[in-house]
Chain A
Amino acid sequence: MSFLEVTDVTVRFTVGSRLAARIKGEKPPILTAVDGISFEAERGESIGIVGESGCGKSTLAKAITGLVPVASGSISLDGRELAGKRDQALRRRIQMVFQDPSSSLNPSLTVEKMLSELLRVHQVVPRDEIADRCAELMDLVELPQSLLEALPRRMSGGQRQRVGIARALALEPDVLIADESVAALDVSVQAPILNLLNSLRDNLGLTLMFISHDLAVVRYVSDRVIVMYLGTAVEDRPTAQLFDDPRHPYTKALMAAAPKFGVKKAPGESALKGEPPSALNLPSGCRFRPRCPLAADICEQIEPDLIGPSETQRAACHFAWEENEIPA
């Protein structure tokens, strides 16, 4: 049994106006944002999640964090089921860091006030140790102690992002989910935050889920990468192998689209034309079919399973494993 087990997790949203649907006597449309995703992560492992906007990355993260309910499937941490109601202690164990910390930081609280409140309310440490813990958290995220007195607006984007990480770490989580946590930052600021996430994982044994649309960034922090397309995982492989030898046509196209620093390439030559279709109106068979350069008749009839030569080498394409066997 793995530390974090996500099994067949599905998340649905009702979209459009319920009232309008009622008046028309129809059911409101239901959008399946996450459609039966399964993966496992060990303690200290770092999982990257990539995919185009709207493919369900954040929804998956929120389901694991408990911020949206799952329609079906199970999530277990350390052998304990999380999919239903979680008590406070259980909730603390999975924390999320968001893209824009300034909108989630209370503008009128200093960093110290914010952290000590959190430590007090959740009774993380005894009262007389709160100040010490605050100082320790600042050290962990490599911020000067002087910033404990600062208000969010006085800090730079990178500093605010570190405060966001400190806030998540205050609850002593086992799993840290970073959703586009560096997307809004300049590369020069992003780089040390990525290094920080790597070192937190090494030093605290955190399990990291790193969500980004930036493939190079994902490569830098992940042991394994899950590629999502329209709510499903289409490829799940160890990072180096995924990047060196992508097996799913979508992964290949995504990599072809990404600008690569230091590699000469012309823009506009990826197979990914147009935009992903709506998850409300999925094509039959393989959901990547309308954009897939390799689509064949079977792709229209049968939805491919996420399978491969081993549990750690999986891709959801009928032809993913046809050529040159790869080592399991």
Chain B
Amino acid sequence: MSGNILEVKDLEVSFTAHGRTVTPVDGVSLTVRRGEALGIAGESGSGKSLALKSIIGLLPPNAAARGDLRYALDEKEPIPYSPTGVHGHGISIIFQEPMTALNPTMRVGDLIAEGPRMHHGLDKNAARTKAVELMRRVGIPTPERRAKMWPHQLSGGLRQRVMIATALSTEPRLLLCDEPTTALDVSIQDQILGLLQELRTSLGMSIIFVSHDLAVLGELCDRLAIMYAGRIVETGPTDQVFANPRHPYTEALMTSVPSFDASAEQLQGIAGRPPDPRNFPPGCRFAPRCGYVQGDCSSAVHELRTSGDGRATACIHPELIEGVKE
């Protein structure tokens, strides 16, 4: 048994308009182990959401996806699956803004009951009972009363809990999270992250958590995949990536985060902007913004090179950044 619940290989997502094709997700490969929380970090527009949505068949209709997707139901080896059929059957997803993801014309209880009725054949009453149970499970106070409310009557934090309950209603083994706490206050964010952590441990669920916030990813994720311009440029255990990044982009991202402790060093930021998918630079796509750039970087072939310690980087000069760290 491989221990992987999901294997994604060479995933590409492209859009064609006016005879031109852009490929904002361009060769993403990743694996998620059973019970693991994998974080995907990267700047806005780097392709995080598209990559996540491809896994569960929720791409916009004008998108074309290619690549090898394998998913392991039960204790078996991962096998190829159809992303459009997996929603409600082993994989669920939650989004940043529950208000746009939750059907505003349905009462909260019915929203949560819909999955079990559709996918598990529960009758109306059984599904309702299950909905209230799930609402209690995700920490919604007075669930019987709230089950009868409309989404707009709930606060942002409670709506996010409803979305989690909806996602859990089909008993997923893998939960995809697309910035589910970005729009929330730190207090509510902490509660939701705590809930996800607790659900993951008690249900043995795997998680992919997409966020631009490294601090949030640090709390929840065992492993990180750093995404830049449609590709994964570094992967590794969270602590090790933070302690000693092996891709200059990861390092640059880290020096942009204001620290909570006293040592308020000058923040670096990253010069320039992320490249436009219509016009990705050749070779290493980070080269135009990279402080370590060498002559051969613009002709580098993208490849995540794995080292023995469970880490991988796509930088062809990782020794430069490690030298700095000594």
Contacts and interface: CB of A to CB of B under 8 A. Distances in A.
B96 interface: no
A281 interface: no
Contact of B187 (A253, A262, A263): A253
A133 B89 CA distance: 61
A214 B215 CA distance: 11
Contact of B193 (A156, A190, A267): A267
Interface stretch (B24-32, B103-111, B262-270): B262-270
Given A187-B257, A217-B258, A220-B258, A267 B267 contact: no
Interface string A267-285: 1111011110000000000
B256 interface: yes
Interface stretch (B50-58, B216-224, B291-299): B216-224
A188 B269 contact: yes
Nearest to A263: B260
B149 to A, nearest CB: 15
A158 B266 CA distance: 18
B186 A216 contact: no
Contacts of B82: none
Chain A interface size range: 35 or more
A189 B268 CA distance: 10
Interface string A171-195: 0000000000000001111111011
A5 B268 CA distance: 34
Interface stretch (B73-81, B112-120, B194-202): B194-202
Interface in B253-306: 253-262, 264, 266-270, 273
B195 A268 contact: yes
Contacts of A272: 187, 190-191
A186 B260 CA distance: 18
A192 B260 contact: no
B137 interface: no
B269 A52 contact: no
A188 B43 contact: yes
B286 to A, nearest CB: 12
A48 to B, nearest CB: 12
Interface string B122-134: 0000000000000
Contacts of B189: 257, 259
A312 interface: no
Given A216-B258, A267-B193, A267-B219, A254 B44 contact: no
Chain B interface extent, by class: 35 or more
B319 interface: no
A219 B216 contact: no
Given A191-B267, A266-B197, A268-B194, A243 B260 contact: yes
B256 A190 contact: yes
Given A215-B186, A258-B186, A188 B252 contact: yes
A187 B187 contact: no
Contact of B266 (A156, A195, A244, A260): A195
A244 B220 CA distance: 25
A99 B42 CA distance: 21
A192 B196 CA distance: 33
A224 B184 CA distance: 24
A274 B187 CA distance: 9
Most buried by A among B44, B187, B213, B260: B187
A68 interface: no
Contacts of B219: 259, 265-267
Contacts of B273: 156, 158, 189
Nearest to B252: A188
Contact of B190 (A243, A244, A261, A268): A268
A240 interface: yes
B257 A268 contact: no
A14 interface: no
B186 A267 contact: no
Contacts of B141: 274
Contacts of A273: 191
Given A52-B187, A188-B43, A262 B262 contact: no
Interface in B224-275: 239, 242, 252-262, 264, 266-270, 273
Contacts of B266: 195
A2 interface: no
Interface in A216-272: 216-217, 219-220, 240, 243-244, 253-254, 256-270, 272
B212 interface: yes
Contact of B269 (A53, A189, A244): A189
Given A52-B187, A216-B257, A261-B242, 8 more contacts: A156-B273, A158-B273, A188-B270, A258-B215, A260-B259, A261-B257, A261-B259, A275-B188
* Closest 3 pairs (CB-CB, A-B): A268-B194, A267-B193, A191-B269
Interface of B: 43-44, 141, 155-158, 185-191, 193-198, 212-216, 218-220, 239, 242, 252-262, 264, 266-270, 273
7 contacts: A189-B43, A190-B256, A253-B187, A257-B186, A257-B187, A261-B242, A268-B191
Interface of A: 52-53, 156-158, 186-192, 194-195, 213-217, 219-220, 240, 243-244, 253-254, 256-270, 272-275
